[in-house]
Structure 1
Amino acid sequence: MKIVILLILFFWIPPALRAQDSDSLRTELLKQVNITANRHTESSLSTIGSVGIIKNLSNSSQPGSTTPDVLMGTTGVFMQKTTQGGGSPFIRGLTGNQTLTLIDGIRLNNSTFRYGPNQYLNTVDPFSLDRIEIYRGGGSVAYGTDALGGTIQLFTPTLAYASKTQAYGKVLARYGTSDMEKSIRVQGGIQRERLALQAGISVKKFGDVVGGDTTGRQTPSGYTDIDFDLKGKLKISENWNVILAHQSVNQRHVPVFYRYQLDQYALNEFDPQKRSLSYARLEGSTTKNLWSKITFITSYQTSQEGRNSQKIGENSLRKESDGIKTWGSSLNFQSQLGKNWTASSGVEVYYDKINSKRIDINQAEGSEISKRGLYPDGSAYLNYALYTLHQYRLNRWKVDYGLRYNGFHIKLNDRDLGTIKISPKAFVGNIGLAYQPSSFSNIYLSLNTGFRAPNIDDMGTLGIVDFRYELPAYDLRPERSYNFEMGYKIRSGSWAMGLALFQNYLNDLITREKVPGEQINGVDVYIKSNTEKAQIRGAEFEAEYHLTEYWRIYTSATYSYGKSVSNQEPLRRIPPVNGRVGLSFHRNQLTLTPEMLWAGAQKRLSAGDKSDNRIPEGGTPAWSIFNIRALYDWKILSLQVQAHNLFNADYRTHGSGINGPGRSLWIGLTANF
């Protein structure tokens, strides 16, 4: 009842507050940003669902030189960091292979993405990105498996033509005190009437993270990172363009810090951590209503994860390597089926080929033994789908609905158990209803069904994962989710607000089950099975208000409550209530932003949380940190300064394996020419 009264009050806004927006008053929340959460372009205000946008990454004073750091503090996103070279976003209580990440519309998730926190988002160079969209609670119908918690879309810059030949360039350098970061980015491009090209290279050296208060230097946690990206756009006719792109990431000697601190390892690192993506995109428009816009993408992606580990006092050095090659193709066409009826439909196919190996080296004897890798070598994973999404508008009302059929063919070549084949299928849909009382407000209800098909990591893992020994499992079914949401958005004059309430029912969750009485080398043995049902409910709130022409205040908060229905205990790794509050000043060339990030204590722990040595006994303490960001533009130069954690607080985000940086200063200088 209180919520209904609140919404009614928002409908009857005093006329004085309904002033037209002016460019000088608009902010990221106030702006009507176009987004692509459901494979078609629409404004963030009219979207049926909760969407966050981070724009102009290459030109802003966003904190951090890693993509996970850029996302930290974003409404509805909670960042867990197992180590400095990682960063796993939680969206509505879920992370890892239960959230989906795409780059320029291409799946980053592959068939070896792990359950729980992982480091894969950190293999995307933020200096190569233009914007990020976060679709909370949806994405399975539009983009397929894994989007149980939501979808993160990463977009590289859109290239533009020019009537006269123009060349441009940029050099960016960043430094973090205590040698926590030394980075440089060199980028250049050319624009012509029918051709545009851009290329960039980023070289980064991250030192050990120096924590706050009594933590000190956390050794080892530093690593090196070299990234390259190239993108070209060619106009082949007035209505058709071809885009070719390549990006590669090469990270070396990335320590898994908590293994050294908590698990008695002399060596535990990712080396190398590589990823590359090449794609061709053909897009154009026609005069046909059934296919007014057509987009075809073909892509090739590779991922290599090397792992080196050695316990203190032991002679055996383990070297593991998992390589994944992914071929992908998709065809999407948008239709104008009626005056108020549009649709986006298509087909997509992804095919993974897995290479996995392990070598144990006895350094005392100089001998090597080749063993089965973490996954069955030579395994394959085929993912194919058909989908259609529709939007219908009638006056102030809007209806969104969609359907997806997804099939899989999974083949595992286990050297001990032989060849295993399964072919799971999923059929999901979504429906949403919105009412816009005015051009600047929107109230909506939605149901998004989602799924996550079992992948190679679920089925084929054999060996030590975290602090468990896992056995393969070959009879798994897709996980399912049913996300109900109601929300309200308003953008009016000098203020904006968004509120969402959600309830997510999760069935057939794939969980690790302990094998009673079994241990291997003193480590408990687990196997995965579809045994768990769970519920996650919560609320997300964000607001901002312009105090004057130059000053604005903003805030956001996210609350999640997870429960395992099967085990009658808290759901594992649920983030605590968290948020941020900030004040921003912008005038002429100067932007100044003091900001506080905070999280409450998380004392609701599952049995798995209690046995996780990264989580303190009794739960993770509450924390808050104060930062100040400043940006000053002067002709071709731009100076970015961030004073981080001014009060030198010791803090660790829930479930992380490393503490955040203490009092420190980051300085960046960009030259555009």
Structure 2
Amino acid sequence: MKRYITYAVLFLSVIGYSQTDNDSTKVKTIDEVVVLNKLPKKFSSLPNQIEVITEKQIEFQNFQTTAEMLSNSGNLFVQKSQQGGGSPAIRGFEASRVLLLVDGIRMNNLIFRAGHLQNAITVDENMLENVGIFYGPTSTLFGSDALGGTVAMTTKRALFLDEAKKALTGNVNTRYSSVNEEKSIAFGLNYATSNFASLSSFSFNDFGDLRMGKRKNHHSDYFGERPFYVATIDGVDQLIENDNKYVQKNSGYKQYNFMQKLAYKTASGFEHGLNFQYSTSSDINRYDRLTETNATTGLTHAEWYYGPQKRLLGVYSLQKSNAFLNSDLKINVAFQDVKESRHNRRFGNYKLQNREEEVKMYSVSADLNKKFSKGELFYGFESYFETLNSSAYSNNINTGEIAAISTRYPNGDNKMMRNDLYVSYNHKVSENTFWNAGARVGYTTLKSTINDDAFFPLPFSSISQGNVTYSGTIGINHNTSQNFTIKANLSSGFRVPNIDDLAKIFESVQGTIIVPNEDLKPEKTLTADFGIVIQSDSKKIRLENTYFYTRMYDAILTDEFQYNGQSVIDYDGTPSQVFANQNKGKAFVTGISTSFYAALLNDLDFNASFNYTYGRVVEENGTKTPLDHISPYFGKIGFEYTKSWANFELYMLYNGKKASKNYSTSGEDNQQYAPIGGMPAWETYNFKTGFKVYKGATLFAGVENILDTQYRTFASGINAPGRNFYGGLKYSF
């Protein structure tokens, strides 16, 4: 695979360089949009690696969810345990080590876990203006958790009359997909005056059971078919034969998303904004758990599902130019309410266990930006206060009997507070040289109390921590000529242990129990990036390579542990090996990212990307063992043909093999859901088109996984979609 990619890149480089400078082909740039107000508008002057997915790309690609949009970009890796999920991984870091932002507000909260998360799907792609992917530690700009990078999602703005051109504008967007009988619709309506604007958006998605590919992957044997599933008939669990083993029974779900934005300009130059977002879903089955087998009953679980994942966000913003010391100012005051729950019972056990969590987040931030003749200064502060209420009960599905059970997190008072100051300065030394430096310092507190430990006695009744946090970055971007650019960046990152790290009691897989460890310290990283950009005079050819090396200190890893002197304890009636989160010394992650762009003809572009990551934990005795969440190599190769009336894209997505010897022993890599020997390599071929059918109306259509290949991505517990025909119509007025 690597050899074929190299040949293709070299061949197309020759073709691309033969284009003349008079060619009117569009030039690829990442300076198309402003993602965040903590960065200069011209991203190409920054020393760190950044990719931007624009609104135009999001609309044309027309994927079902934000997670699918990210995974198909070729820029990062996404794990899935069920159809209604998607956990982005950047440079071998995932979940609580990757920061998710929406409109500059942290989504990461005090129960973000180290395993795999589904929170990205609660932001509807139809409401996005752009997505910025920031690679490497970005704690200096964005705070805790940004070890591997940051995914910054920016939703569409309410447009004033000078931007919208009409008082009332809007759109309707529909889509149908064959692979899961998806039926989706989205509405958007913008009302504009010269000083007032309102944007209302609503979307609904109905995803049926997902059908996997039927054709054998030439890299592996068949695997992952669904021959049986559990149904409860007249109060009795029964094993039912699936009439189509390629349909992943009980993987469907529904989702609802709503957004309302208001903006008002005053005569004195202030702009007030209100941003309200709400997302909820139906129950979402944890598909990987439903497929776990049992020698006695056939399948282990009769039910295992997440309750509706509800996300509510309210933001008041105030911004003004030259508001303070000739600095532009933006203030955000935000509130978030996130509710999630887990429900499960084993086959033949009619007591359904229900564990519910509610997180509330209160935050205030001030971001300031001051311009100098040759530089730009960004500075400000952030304060986040979070609370958690964790409850649990069981109910007998036949008798209705309700009983108390152990909670996932401590059942007392759980709270966490973060207070940070940051500064970042970007300086233009000359037309060819830019440098950047920044720092952040803060203090984080955490307290968790246990009101009742009757189900699992602990040697303590509360956990309390206070941590000073800090990070810094320095980098340079130098153009040696108009054809060659060198980038170098050194940055540190940090992640403060949260309630999930410190205090949860969790059954990762049956027979394994994770217990609290109150002695955890923050984990820290130091990363060196070195990038080279080569481009033609006309910028119609661009090759970018970024090499990185990350060293982790006090890495929080799950490993064997002794609880009250015992390595095996009884949990929920099962003898379980004891594990706990621990600071396991040092670890490192290294790798390379390559992207290539060529404008072959006036309207034909070629794009290719390749990403490789290698990570190991360094034990005290010098032994190196695989670090979790390290994906195999992956990327995307494609051609795009663009006219004023239509777009066409033909592309290949590919992943390498993840061999068993490279799986982490922590269990986070979900080796039990992979074939013997590890997760096979795969590639898919895809075609997409969008064309204007009449004024204001655009028809989107395409086919994904054209060869109907059967495959599964690394660490995932559900097979990927098979051949999918989709079509949709967007009408704008």
TM-score normalized with structure 2 length: 0.86
Query: What is aligned with 1:333?
Result: 368
CA distance in 1, matches of 2:483, 2:257: 41
Q: Counterpart of 1:505?
A: 551
- Paired residue type of 1:399: W
The aligned residue for residue 666 of structure 1 is 726
Residues 25 and 482 of structure 1: CA distance in aligned 2, closer, same or farther (over 3 Å): same
Runs of 4+ aligned residues of structure 1 deviating over 6 Å after TM superposition are 15-22
Worse overlay, 479-488 or 40-49: 40-49
Contact 1:279 1:299 in 2 (8 A): yes
**TM alignment of 1:137-156, pairs within 5 A:** 137-156=136-155
Does 1:602 pair with 2:677?
no
In the other structure, the counterpart of 1:656 is: 716
**Offset at 1:564?**
1.2
Is 1:311 aligned to residue 346 of structure 2? Answer: yes
Q: Distance in 2 between matches of 1:633 and 1:167?
A: 22
User: Does 2:445 match 1:409?
Assistant: yes
Equivalent positions of 1:123-138 (< 5 A) are: 123-138=122-137
Per-residue deviation, 1:611: 6.9
Alignment of 1:638 with 2:672, yes or no, is no
Residues 125-159 of structure 1, C-alpha deviations (whole Å, 9 max, x = no match): 11111100000103100010001100000001133
1:25 aligns to what? 25
CA distances 1:73-131 after superposition (whole Å, capped 9, x unpaired): 33440111111111011100110000001011100111110102111111111111110
Q: Distance in 1 between matches of 2:323 and 2:628?
A: 52
For 1:285 and 1:588, locate their aligned partners in 2 and report how far apart those are by CA, in whole Å: 37
The 5 A counterparts of 1:237-386 are 237=267, 239-262=269-292, 264-286=300-322, 290-336=325-371, 338-377=372-411, 378-386=413-421
Residue 194 of structure 1 deviates from its aligned partner by 0.5
SS at match of 1:45: helix
Matched to 1:541, the amino acid is: T
User: Helix, strand or coil for the counterpart of 1:608?
Assistant: coil
**How far did residue 631 of structure 1 move?**
0.4
Deviation per CA, 1:254-301, whole angstroms, max 9, x where unpaired?
A: 01101111152111111121101110111111176x442111000001
| Amino acid aligned to 2:384 | Y
- Alpha-carbon shift at residue 552 of structure 1 (Å): 1.2
**Does structure 1 residue 547 correspond to structure 2 residue 546?**
no
| Structure 2 CA distance for partners of 1:183 and 1:466, relative to 1, 3 Å | farther
Contact 2:409 2:505 in 1 (8 A): yes
Distance 2:134 2:646 in 1: 31
User: Equivalent residues in 2 for 1:364-443 (5 A)?
Assistant: 364-377=398-411, 378-395=413-430, 396-415=432-451, 416=453, 417-438=460-481, 441-443=484-486
Output the amino acid matched with 1:362: N
Structure 2 CA distance for aligned equivalents of residues 58 and 183 of structure 1: 19
User: Residue 569 of structure 2 aligns with which residue?
Assistant: 518
Alignment map for 1:172-191 (pairs within 5 Å): 172-191=173-192
**In 2, distance between residues paired with 1:178 and 1:583?**
24
TM-fit CA distance, 1:26: 1.9
Partner of 1:483: 527
Aligned to 2:264: 234
Deviations 1:386-421 (A, max 9, x none): 111111221122221111112111010112332322
Q: 1:57, 1:182 → 2: CA distance?
A: 22
Q: Please tell me whether the aligned partners of residues 46 and 435 of structure 2 are also in contact (alpha carbons under 8 angstroms).
A: no
Whichever residue aligns with residue 171 of structure 2, its letter is K
Distance 1:106 1:212 in 2: 38
CA, structure 1 residues 573+618, in 2 after alignment: closer, same or farther (shift >3 Å)? farther
CA distance in 1, matches of 2:365, 2:278: 22
Match of 2:241 in 1: none
Deviation at 1:20, TM superposition (A): 6.5
Structure 1 match to 2:76: 77
In terms of mean alpha carbon deviation, does 651-660 or 354-363 score higher?
354-363
Could you tell me which amino acid in structure 1 is paired with residue 25 of structure 2? L
Q: Do residues 570 (structure 1) and 626 (structure 2) align? A: yes
Cα distance change, pair 626–611 in 1 and its aligned pair in 2 (3 A) = closer
**How far, CA to CA, are the matches of 1:221 and 1:132 in structure 2?**
27
Change (3 A) 1:16 1:462: closer
* Structure-2 separation of matches of 1:49 and 1:37: 15
**After alignment, is 245-254 or 568-577 more displaced?**
568-577
TM-score between both structures, scaled by the size of structure 1 = 0.93
Q: Relative to 1, partners in 2 of residues 1:611 and 1:49: Cα closer, same or farther, differing over 3 Å?
A: closer
CA distance in 2, matches of 1:569, 1:657: 23
Q: Which residue number in structure 2 is paired with residue 205 of structure 1? A: 206
Check conservation: 2:159, 2:199, Cα contact below 8 A. Answer: no
Bigger CA drift: 254-263 or 85-94?
254-263
SS in 2 for 1:529: strand
Shift of 1:188: 0.8
Letter in 1 for 2:363: G
Structure 2: how far apart are the matches of 1:74 and 1:519? 45
Check whether the contact 2:102–2:154 (CA below 8 A) recurs between aligned residues.
yes
- 3-state secondary structure, aligned to 1:463: coil
CA gap of 1:302–1:620, structure 2 versus 1, over 3 A, is same
In the other structure, the counterpart of 1:5 is none
Whether the 8 Å contact between 1:38 and 1:139 is mirrored in structure 2 is no
Output the CA distance in 1 between the equivalents of 2:606 and 2:19: 19
Matched, 1:588 2:644: yes
Residues 588 and 526 (structure 1 numbering): CA distance in 2 closer, same or farther, change over 3 Å?
Answer: same
1:7 corresponds to which residue? none
Work out whether residues 45 and 489 of structure 1, in 8 Å CA contact, stay in contact via their aligned partners in 2. no
Of stretches 411-420 and 63-72 in structure 1, the one that deviates more from structure 2 is 411-420
Deviation at 1:519, TM superposition (A): 4.5
**How many residues were matched structurally?**
658
Task: Read off the aligned partner of 1:230 and give its amino acid letter.
Answer: Q
SS at match of 1:258: helix
Give unpaired runs (5+ residues) of structure 2: 1-13, 216-224, 226-245, 294-299, 454-459, 562-566
| Percent pairwise identity | 27
2:220: which partner in 1? Answer: none
CA offsets 1:13-33 (integer angstroms, 9 cap, x no match)? 9x98897798x5225x34533
One-letter amino acid matched to 2:568:
G
**In structure 1, C-alpha distance between the alignment counterparts of 2:167 and 2:210, rounded to whole Å:** 42
- Report the 3-state secondary structure (helix = DSSP H, G, I; strand = E; otherwise coil) of the residue aligned with 2:47: coil
Q: 2:19·2:600 contact (CA, 8 Å) conserved in 1?
A: no
Letter of the aligned partner of 1:325 in structure 2? Answer: K
The AA in structure 2 aligned to 1:258 is D
Q: Secondary structure at the match of 1:97?
A: helix
| Contact in 1 for aligned 2:213/2:708 (Cα 8 Å) | yes
One-letter amino acid of the counterpart of residue 514, structure 2: E
Q: Which residue of 1 aligns with 2:589?
A: 536
Q: In the superposition, relative to structure 1, how do residues 43 and 59 fare at CA in structure 2: closer, same or farther (>3 Å)?
A: same
CA distance in 2, matches of 1:352, 1:56: 32
